Amino acid sequence: MTTLQTNKNTFNAQLELVPDEPGVYLMFDKSGSVLYVGKANSLRQRLGSYFTPNPDVDDRIASMISRIASYDTIICDNELEAFILEANLIKKYRPRYNILLRDDKEYPYIHVTLQEEFPRVMKAFRVGDDIEEGARYFGPWLSGDVSRALKVLGSIFPLRQCKLDLPREIGKERPCLNAHIRRCLAPCAGNISKEDYRKMVDEVCLFLEGRTDDLIRRLHRDMMEAADRLDFEEAAVLLGKWQALTRLREQQRVVDVAGGDRDVLALHRNGYEVAIAKLEVRDGRVTGCVHTFAEDSGGHDGTYFSTFIRGHYRVPSQIPPEILVSALPDELELLTRFLREKRGRAVTIRHPQRGSKKALLELALMNADRALTRRALSRGSDPHVLEQTLALLGQLVGLDRFPFRIEAYDVSHYGKGARSGSMVVFRQGKPERSSYRHFSIKGFEGIDDYRALAEIVSRRLGRLDEESFGNRPDLILVDGGIGHVSTVLPLVQKHGLRVAGMVKDDRHRTRGLVLPTGDIIELATSGSLCHYLSGDECGERTDDQQRETEDTRAKRLGLLHLLTSIQDEAHRFALRHNQNVRQKRTMRYALESIPGVGPARRKRLLEHFGTSKKISEASLEELKSVSGIPQVVAEAVYNHFQEQARH
């Protein structure tokens, strides 16, 4: 009898103790981690369905069942309560077998801190818990769209950008530069009342909700009132805002001449990931399109929509009266009740089959398709795209296969004393952090990046056969140009390996691939890659520039993204080690700067307490107890760190 069969027999015996009531169940693996959270109108029936000889489930849930070691249940008063509790527990535990939607950092939010007395407007990469306290999050949108929206907001609504605790700190500091250039109304100096400031924040929310018609009418009315009372300066300011919003309104696409508010949800898959696009239609105009992604683990489209709707619409202001979907979500009636109770008014979820609303779904579907393509290209999330990128890299460096294991090296230094190098490993295009290594430069004194790079690569190649370092690399990449590549080329050729360099532009962004021949393949600009591909992979030549096809552009950007990831990781890892070394040295010198503490007493203190941080936190009595540390020196050490803490 298999382990799974034994578990099923055990669970079936336990099912008699499970109540036949609505509630939530949690599945655990043998380590106690939550595998899955689900809800049921009848806990006994639902759990029993998992432990039958041939459960009717998809591959994802079948895999989960094989890992169940135990389960627990929580009884609820009704199915709706279980529905809400399930969502909260999924958010808390993020179980691997539940559908987990995520927003990419490419798609940030606009965050309005309405819970503050003088709110701020800023970019955020995820929805925070302050949404329950009243904060508003608009999006997620493409990062460029957010930046443009914030720029427009800053020009029309001069809200504060500082982190001052207002109103507690009003009048304690002089207004900043933004106040002097009229980009902030300086609430920190008491130049605007809380009520007037809040009115402006409400206008920002109207703007972000897409209700520009209401805001334009209000601004026009205020402008005319200011002109009537001969306050022409105020009227001119309002005129500028009115004109800016009018231009913005004209750019918004009209999709329903009758007006109306609704969200339009469509889903697209590529076999590996799922993208959900949400078109926001306000007053008949498309005011925004947001995107959310999830791993494509099978299941119906309706399951993803149910997860999205339940997690996305967290506060009443987010919920429109109508939601159009390309597939009806699971448990439609329960989900509709959930939205109606949260909004406090009617909500309808529809799957239109024809007419203008069907056309809206097609528009949303096109956006979901494009978002998923863009994500697979720019983030390397599609395994097929990544394999093609690795094959291209292998072709460019002269390999007859794609580089399965890539090792990348970087050197970091800060002065003559803090010199280090890093080796990061990418396996099948993904970082393998357990194989990373740090190197301290020991072979020479002074600063010489070429010698340092040669030292760490030579030390690595001297241990090619050691299992602790992993498999032999298929490709070695170095952070630098042709000088760095030429330095290590003789070393790697002795072992039959390949090497290339990763070069940056003047803004420290990855720019291209450096070949041992000295050629630089420029990946940040179009055209250069075409010289290294077969003729039919690029388009026609115009003047002296080769015009890229869409496929060639995709290959170039995919390779640029991969090299950027590798180069950034190598630099980050080298810098982290360097910073740790510097921090320890700084603390060592700080200890020896205390009167009476030299190298010997510093060593005694560190041996006793273990770390410099623990020394700084020690009490006077603890310091006095250290062998070989006189009382007067212990007092000096204690007073030194107490003085630092006060400042």
Torsion of CA 205, 209, 211, 212, to 10 degrees: 70
Task: Return the pLDDT at 475.
Answer: 96
pLDDT surpassing 90 at residue 426: yes
φ, ψ of residue 152 to 5 degrees: the values are: -65, -45
Residue pair 499/518 in contact (Cβ under 8 Å)? The answer is no
Cis peptide preceding 140, ω within 30 of 0:
yes
Query: Which residues are within 8 A (CB) of 534 and not within 5 positions of it... i.e. 6 or more apart?
Result: none
Residue whose token pair is 């072992």: 495
SS3 310: helix
Q: What is the CATH number of the domain that holds 435?
A: 3.30.420.340
Range of weakest confidence among 135-149, 160-174, 181-195, 370-384: 370-384
Average pLDDT for residues 101-118, to the nearest whole number? 81
**Is 585 inside any structural domain?**
no
Residue 13: CB atoms within 10 Å: 9
pLDDT at 372: 79
Q: Angle, nearest 10°, between helix axes 332-343 and 79-93? A: 80
Q: Give the residue from 103, 203, 216, 93 showing the smallest Cα distance to 159.
A: 203
Q: What letter does residue 557 receive in the DSSP assignment?
A: H
Task: Give the pair of three-digit tokens for residue 402.
Answer: 């794609």
Whether residues 126 and 198 fall in one domain: yes
Bridge partners, residue 60, by sequence: none
pLDDT at 35 over 80: yes
Residues 118, 191, single domain; the answer is: yes
Flag whether pLDDT at 428 surpasses 60.
Answer: yes
Q: Which residue has the higher pLDDT, 93 or 580?
A: 93
Domain boundary residue, one of 335, 357, 377: 377
Is the pLDDT at 488 greater than 90? The verdict is: yes
* pLDDT tens track for 252-271: 555 555 668 899 999 998 87
Residues 434 and 572 in one domain: yes
The pLDDT, as a whole number, for residue 5 is: 43
Integer Cα distance of 163 and 4 in angstroms: 56
* Residues 25 and 40 placed together within one structural domain of the fold: yes
In a domain, 253, yes or no: no
Query: Would the pLDDT of 126 be above 50?
Result: yes
Mean pLDDT of 453-468: 90
> Across the chain, what does the average pLDDT equal?
83
Reply yes or no on whether the pLDDT at 142 is more than 70: no
Dist. CA 436–CA 575, nearest whole Å: 13
159 lies in the same domain as 302: no
Selection from 15-24, 311-320, 492-501 with the highest mean pLDDT: 492-501
pLDDT tier, 378 (very low <50, low <70, confident <90, very high otherwise): low
What is the per-residue pLDDT for 545? 44
If one counts every other C-beta atom within 10 angstroms of the C-beta of residue 213, the result is 16
Do residue 190 and residue 333 come from a single domain?
no
CATH number for the domain that contains residue 74: 3.40.1440.10
Judge contact between 612 and 587, C-beta under 8 A.
yes
Q: What confidence score (pLDDT) does residue 6 get? A: 42
Domain boundary residue, one of 532, 550, 580: 580
At 550, the pLDDT band (50, 70, 90 cuts) reads low
- Greatest mean pLDDT range, 179-193, 271-285, 442-456, 478-492: 478-492
Tell whether 17 and 147 lie within a shared domain: no
Q: Does some domain include residue 546? A: yes
Domains held by the chain: number: 5
Q: For residues 391 and 499, state if they share a domain.
A: yes
Question: Is the peptide bond prior to 167 cis by the omega test (within 30 degrees of 0)?
Answer: yes
pLDDT value, residue 1: 28
DSSP for 128-161, please give it.
-GGGGGT-EEE----HHHHHHHHHHHHHHS----
Q: Is residue 117 part of a domain?
A: yes
Which tens digits make up the pLDDT trace of 335-348?
A: 999 999 999 999 99
Position 251 in a domain? no
Residues 539 and 530: their CA atoms lie apart, in Å, by 9
Provide φ and ψ at 102, rounded to 5°: -140, 150
Same domain for 516 and 473: yes
Q: What is the dihedral of CA 61, 64, 66, 68, to 10 degrees?
A: -130
Residue 408 has pLDDT above 80, yes or no: yes
- Amino acid at position 432, single letter: E
> What range defines the domain where residue 627 resides?
594-646
Nearest 5°: phi and psi at 321? Answer: -70, -20
Q: How far apart are CA 615 and CA 268, in angstroms?
A: 57
For helices 550-592 and 599-609, angle between their N-to-C axes, nearest 10 degrees: 110
- Per residue in 240-255, pLDDT (tens digit) is 878 777 776 655 555 5
- The residue among 344, 377, 410 that closes a domain is 377
- The sheet that has 262-269: what strands, in order across it? 253-254, 285-295, 273-282, 262-269, 322-325, 348-350
What average pLDDT does the segment 617-632 reach? Answer: 88
Whole-number pLDDT of residue 248 = 62
**CA-closest candidate to residue 357, choices 255, 445, 218:** 255
Residue-level pLDDT at 476: 96
Clarify whether residues 153 and 188 are in a common domain.
yes
Asked whether residue 133 is assigned to any structural domain, the reply reads yes
Residue 242 near residue 150, CB atoms below 8 Å: no
What element of type H or E holds 441?
none
For residue 163, what are the contacts with CB-CB under 8 A and spacing of at least 6? Answer: none
In what helix (H) or strand (E) does residue 423 lie, and over which residues does it extend? strand 418-427
Q: Do the domain assignments include residue 100?
A: no
Q: Is the pLDDT of residue 369 over 90?
A: no
**Residue 266, phi then psi, degrees to nearest 5:** -135, 150
Mean of pLDDT values over 226-253 = 77
Q: 63-77, pLDDT tens digit by residue?
A: 888 888 888 999 998
Q: Do residues 366 and 399 both lie within one domain? A: no
Which CATH number goes with the domain that contains 600? 1.10.150.20
Does residue 366 share a domain with residue 391?
A: no
Q: Which residue has the higher pLDDT, 628 or 533?
A: 628
10 Å CB burial of residue 101 (0-12, 13-18, 19+) is middle
Q: pLDDT grade, residue 17 (50/70/90)? A: confident
Quote the percentage of the chain above a pLDDT of 70: 86
Higher-confidence residue: 192 or 591?
192
Tell me which amino acid residue 40 is: A
Tell me what pLDDT residue 137 has.
87
Does 588 fall in a domain? no
pLDDT surpasses 50 at 556: yes
Q: For residue 92, what pLDDT is reported? A: 87
